[in-house]
Structure 1
Amino acid sequence: MCGIAGFAGEDRGTIERMTDAIRHRGPDGVGIDVEQGASLGHRRLAILDPRPEGNQPMWNENRSVAILLNGEIFNYRELREREGFACRTGTDTEVLLKLYERHGMSFLPRLRGMFALAIYDARSRTWHLARDTSGIKPLYRTTIDGRLHFASEVRSLLRAFPSKPQLNLRSLSLYVRLQYVPGPETLCEGIESVVPGSAVEWHEGREHVTHFTPDVAPTAFPSPGAFREGFPALMDDAVREHLVSDKPVGLFLSGGMDSTIVLHHMARHMPSGLNTFTMRFEATREEDADRFNADAKLAALSAAHYRTTHHEVHMTAQDCRAIYRDTARALDLPNADSVAMAQALLSRTAKKHVDVILTGAGGDELFGGYPRYRIARLLHASRAIPASVRAALAHLAGVPADICRLAPDARLATRLLARPPREGRAITKDSWFDPDATDALSADWYDRLHQSDPVRALMEFDRHVWLVDESLKLTDATTMSSGLEGRVPFLDVRVVASALAMPTSWHVGWRTTKRLLKETYFPVLPPHIRALHKACFFPPMAKWIRREAAPLVEEALASPRIRELFDVDALRTVFDKHVRHEAYGYHTLATITQLAFWFEEVYDAH
């Protein structure tokens, strides 16, 4: 895992500034090359073969091709042996370099791993950028004075601009409703993310984008019984590959099923020395401390069951206030999810013990874990029923009444995943806010997905949008802020392919979610996992901003950027009512506070 940056052209000062902006991503070394029409920068987190021979940028023997890689290729040894490569290092980077020399970019579908890479072919002055199909690793690009620039983070690219790019108001409108920034656009005009599963070829101002899918046949599970019997072996192999490292490996352990499944398989391959990490939050009994710490209690039970060395980090409101600014800077683009501060603090502790951390991300999107998938199933099944009857069914299923009038299409996705338009209209100034941008985003994705099954459509929408640009980006940012590599075994390409080949009816019913995964693992997981209801891991931020964390909101309301774009009087009313318990305003306050600190720490920082 590393940080990469580069551009077409030679300018040592610019590439040094860009690379310095991502120094947190690679505490183990820095490499900069300026030659042959290219400027290349790399910050190294040495996980495989930490010797200097593995440093980047890495060139081939005659220095005609260079590669920058952020990520890990878990089947690189298999590829090396199959191709008969004689390598001077034990890195996956060198294997990819040799694959390009032999096959060009056609090797991408053969990779099992998480990656964002750049290859420069000096023979033709051609650049190649690529990103893994699940979007686990970030990669951004832009054009400055007609020349390609790229980097692992937006703030690195901002160091290359002669003047600050304009604010992207469409993306800002999306952020106000979604509370994160969906790609490929960013809040900076002209800076975009490389789309997951795409390869960009750039040559002298002309670019060509192609898309690739993993060259892997899904494991055939012809029936639920076949899945229950065969899937654990597939998952076990995925976890085993994700343990490949020359540095210590641990696990972010929640009280939920997905991270416990990962732990179950890790324990098979790491019978001793396994470190697990979780959070506990400070709250009073009146603030419902038991609810916020139920996750930590369950995680402790799982850790005891598997006999791990368990680390429980206690987070207070003051801790949150202290780490908030650093977290906003690390996130690179604003994300109002309160989990970010908790995970940033947890990463600091984990880095003292391990250099690689596994998580359970991806399981809900692949195997139907969110209650919203049950809603899509209900609406699809009841589409021929009169509205009054649907309303009654919705009430019995715990679904809000207005949702029962919707079809299970893009409008449902927007209703379930975005804040109401009226909230944005109430706090924005002038006419820049476009609430319809979110509806257009959902509709565009649903058109591209071409799914006849509305449950699958919503699951895939989540996997391509929310998972990539909210969850995975948050995890990458908060872990890499401490030089910690995060890995996600559920997004192994073989697991993903097999999950997509199964009907959603195996996973989601009218009143059940993640049914098949539960039936498969409940017999082997510790008993307390079988009894739990789906819970969220999040700190009590709504309560903290009423007390020690309140100055964060005050700083945001004083921000010149916020005052330019938002109605601060309206925001002050939201804050005052929230503090007095008159009206819940946390979502609005979190959105604005995170944005204010992003302006200060990223957009206006240089």
Structure 2
Amino acid sequence: MCGICGYISLKDNHNLDNHAINNMVNTMHHRGPDEDGYYKNNYVNFGMRRLIIIDKENGSQPIISKNNETVIIMNGEIFNYKELRNMLITNHNSKFRTNSDTEVLLEMYKNYGTQAIKYLDGMFSFAIYDSKKDLIWIARDRFGIKPLYYYYDDKQLIFGSTIDSIIESKKIKAKINNTSVQLYLLLSYVPSPLSIYNNIYKLLPGHEIFIKNKKIKIQKYWDINEYIDIKKDTDVNNKFENLLNSSVLKHSVSDQPVGTFLSGGLDSSVITKKYKSLNHNNFNSYTADFDNKKHDDSVFAKIVANKLDIKHHNYKINSNDFLPIIDELMEYIDEPVYDSAMVPSYILSKQAKDDNLKVLLAGNGADEILGGYKRHYNQFPDFLKGSCSSISEDVLNYLSKMKLLSFHKLLQLKYKFIGYAITFSGINLESYKILTKNCNFYTLEKQLSNYFSNNDNKNISNLKKLMIRDLKTYLVDNGLSILDKTTMATSIEGRVPYLDHKLVEYLISLDDSVYLSNNYKNSKSLLRNLAKKNNLKEITQRNKIGFNHPLNGVIDNNHNLNKIKKTILSAKHILNEFINYDQINIILDNYKKENNENIMNLYILATWVNNKCYQ
């Protein structure tokens, strides 16, 4: 919907320059090209950019209460706002000046205070200033669909939908965080709550910030672990479909055209089918066709589109286009994050923008809530990870030279959480150790232990434990982050119907035997059954194929390899602190496919440094 930012002074006579909040807002023009808005006093500065989705004429922000005591800015959507609006009118005789969801949230706060957040179905980050109570309330949605970053010290708190907006306040000095770089090079993203810079943090999903009497308090208001149970339900298939139908209906609320990502896989096909079933007779769907990809998504996407009789767009992405597209996208990326799926997500969002769409429905979250990744079922390899923790790296290195196992695989036996991380990042650990200065796997393992195992619940199966782990980590920092950045780069709002909190809470409350399989081949049976019921049988027989661009042909040609070398070299003035530059050419000149992900995430980091880094 937009981008928001703000500056809160915690000391008298410590405020923003008159033009600073305007400059902060202007960094987010791509997130909201339609309007801007501001609220300023000696204590609080709010700003926003608006992408008009709902109530074009009257939905401008900030919205100020009729008594001028309370003001709100919001990024995202409250999908049940019409229901809440009716509740407020019936129970509290509320009067509204607009038809926007933002005003509904402001009125909810008036009547329910900060407990209002429990009533919200949506994806959001917002800030409310209550001058009468001297209270500022900042919050992020339950799953982290919409971003929110913040910085604070004893003088100020600064927040924004992007890191760029915070730095543009000119109140802090940006310094790259060494730990963040090392973790990024391992994960291909910076794990929450860290950001790429010192002292700028991501507000965790389901968390809120309170500033009262200029004192800051950060707390959790929602946690999926609270809904874990072992309920038996004999009507799971129907309840799942009803909850998904309700979610797709809510996610379809828009005064602007809505389309869908349609990869031809199970997740996006079901969402597209359900959206069609809501009597949307003519809408746009989008898929990407990659060269060098063994399994062609476009074939299955076309099958689904033809069955549904919708306007389908297939965009061909050539390997020679991959790096130029990355370079173009980096203008909108505020911190390094890499997944080859970001290329099709960005390109298809651009196409949708050209077709005058403002909203795209996506299938993110289905794998995390239904057990859709192979790593969820690899119990024996998972058991082995960390089994050799007492053996030194020197011994492991010696064993690797005896050709028993590669050093890369032996390191996974020593470090459990590092081993888990590379199941999705694809990083080669031996090359990582060579490339990364001051590499200390023991320290990294400890950091990843806090990141991953903090989300564990010992009273559930390993399968559900890994699903929840991914829901709280990988999905937030990879899937949802990339969806937000790539869609908003083109002024498109990406929505994720599988992450309706009532749907997720219901599934997590069930006993595994009711809806989960004990093997990957039969995974996501609830969704497969639903697809069959909805005349999508062909899709249920597909093996899972990620919506990613194959790197074969991208790196292993001289033109692209030279470009990668030059880009990484040009970032040396910054990255030399973190990267062993004397090893880069060795790895690039002796190209091996196993280093593809290391090379690409380093290219992303270097491109970000060359184009976006404030240090």
TM above 0.5, yes or no, is yes
Tell me the amino acid that sits aligned with residue 74 of structure 2: L
Say whether 1:27 aligns with 2:50: no
Contact 1:264–1:525 (CA<8 Å) still a contact in 2?
Answer: no
Correspondence for 1:568 among 566, 581, 603: 581
Shift, 1:178, TM fit: 0.5
Could you give the per-residue CA deviations for residues 451-473 of structure 1, whole angstroms, max 9, x where no partner exists?
33211111111000100011101
User: What secondary structure sits across from 2:447 in the alignment?
Assistant: helix
Residues 415 and 597 (structure 1 numbering): CA distance in 2 closer, same or farther, change over 3 Å?
A: closer
Residue 252 of structure 1 is matched in structure 2 by 261
For 1:545, give the aligned amino acid.
I
**Given the alignment, which residue of 133, 155, 175 partners 1:146?**
155
Q: Please name the residue that 1:386 is paired with.
A: none
Match of 1:555 among 557, 567, 587: 567
Question: Which of 67, 76, 80 is the matching residue for 2:81?
Answer: 76
- What are the Cα deviations for residues 78-100 of structure 1, in whole angstroms up to 9, with x where unaligned? 11111212211010000111111
User: Are 2:378 and 1:375 aligned?
Assistant: yes
Q: Distance in 2 between matches of 1:219 and 1:249?
A: 34
1:340 alignment counterpart: 342
**Among 359, 365, 370, which residue is 2:368 paired with?**
365
CA drift of 1:423 comes to 2.7
Query: CA shift at 1:411, angstroms?
Result: 6.7
Residue by residue over 1:564-598, the C-alpha shift from the partner in whole angstroms, topping out at 9 and shown as x without a partner, is 421223111221222xxx55321111111111111
Check if 1:121 corresponds to 2:126. Answer: no
Deviates most, 6-15 or 346-355: 6-15
Indicate the SS of the match to 1:423: helix
Seen in structure 2, the aligned counterparts of structure 1 residues 539 and 553 have a Cα distance that, compared at 3 Å, is farther
CA offsets 1:423-442 (integer angstroms, 9 cap, x no match): 3220123x266663244323
Q: What 5-or-longer segments of structure 2 have no aligned partner? A: 9-14, 385-407
Q: What SS class does the counterpart of residue 476 from structure 1 fall into?
A: helix
Rounded Cα–Cα distance in structure 2 between residues aligned with 1:60 and 1:169: 44
Structure 2 match to 1:17: 23
In 2, the alpha carbon distance for the partners of 1:566 and 1:403 equals 20
Classify 1:131/1:470 alpha carbon distance in 2 versus 1 (closer, same or farther; 3 Å): same
What amino acid does structure 2 have at the position aligned with 1:200? I
Question: What is the deviation of 1:404?
Answer: 11
Instruction: Mark the runs of 5 or more structure 1 residues left unpaired by the alignment.
Output: 284-288, 382-399
Query: Residues 380, 319 of structure 1: CA spacing in aligned structure 2 closer, same or farther, 3 A cutoff?
Result: closer
Q: Distance in 2 between matches of 1:151 and 1:404?
A: 37
Kept in 1, the 8 Å contact 2:565–2:585? The answer is: no
- Alignment of 1:272 onto 2:284: no
Please show how residues 218-229 of structure 1 align to structure 2 within 5 Å.
225-229=234-238
Please give the secondary structure, in 1, of the residue aligned with 2:157.
strand
The equivalent of 1:166 in structure 2 is 175
In the TM superposition, what is the alpha-carbon distance from 1:160 to its structure 2 partner?
1.6
Q: How far off is 1:62 after superposition?
A: 2.4
| Residue 530 to residue 329, structure 1, CA distance change in 2 (3 Å) | same
SS at match of 1:323: helix
Give TM-score scaled by structure 1 length: 0.89
1:44/1:426 CA distance change after superposition, 3 Å: same
Q: Select 2:251's aligned residue among 223, 230, 242.
A: 242
Alignment correspondent of 2:404? none
Question: CA-to-partner distance for each residue in 1:475-501, whole Å, 9 max, x for gaps?
Answer: 000000111001000000111111111
Work out the CA distance in 2 between the residues paired with 1:91 and 1:205. 30
In the TM superposition, what is the alpha-carbon distance from 1:222 to its structure 2 partner?
5.8
Q: After the TM superposition, which residues 380-419 of structure 1 pair with which residues of structure 2 at under 5 Å, given as runs?
A: 413-414=420-421, 416-417=423-424, 419=427
1:305 to 290, 304, 307: 307
Taking structure 1 as reference, are residues 54 and 499 closer, same or farther at Cα in structure 2, changes over 3 Å only? same
Q: Deviation per CA, 1:82-122, whole angstroms, max 9, x where unpaired?
A: 12122110100001111112221110011000000011122
* CA apart distance, 1:145: 6.2
The corresponding residue for 2:590 is: 577
Change (3 A) 1:337 1:444: closer
Q: How does 1:185-264 map to 2 (within 5 A)?
A: 185-213=194-222, 225-264=234-273
Amino acid corresponding to residue 6 of structure 2 in structure 1: G
Question: Scaled by the length of structure 2, what TM-score is found?
Answer: 0.87
Query: CA RMSD, aligned part only?
Result: 2.9
| Contact 2:345 2:483 survives alignment (8 Å) | yes
Cα 1:291–1:554 change in 2 (3 A) is same
**Mapped partners of 1:171, 1:91: distance in 2:** 38
Moved more, 525-534 or 218-227: 218-227
Amino acid at match of 1:33: Y
CA distance in 2, matches of 1:148, 1:405: 43
SS of residue paired to 1:255:
coil
Shift of 1:161: 3.3
Deviation, 1:299, is 0.9
Secondary structure, aligned partner of 2:192:
coil
Q: Which moved more, 1:437-446 or 1:269-278?
A: 437-446
Q: Is the 8 A contact 1:377 1:509 kept in 2?
A: no
Q: Following TM superposition, by how much is the alpha carbon of 1:332 offset from its aligned partner in structure 2, in angstroms? A: 1.6
CA contact (8 A) 1:577 1:584 kept: no
Q: In the superposition, relative to structure 1, how do residues 175 and 46 fare at CA in structure 2: closer, same or farther (>3 Å)? A: same
Name the CA shift for 1:411/1:567 in 2 (closer, same or farther; >3 Å): closer
One-letter amino acid of the counterpart of residue 369, structure 2:
L
Q: CA offset at residue 241 of structure 1?
A: 0.8
Distance change (3 Å), C-alpha of 1:212 and 1:30: same
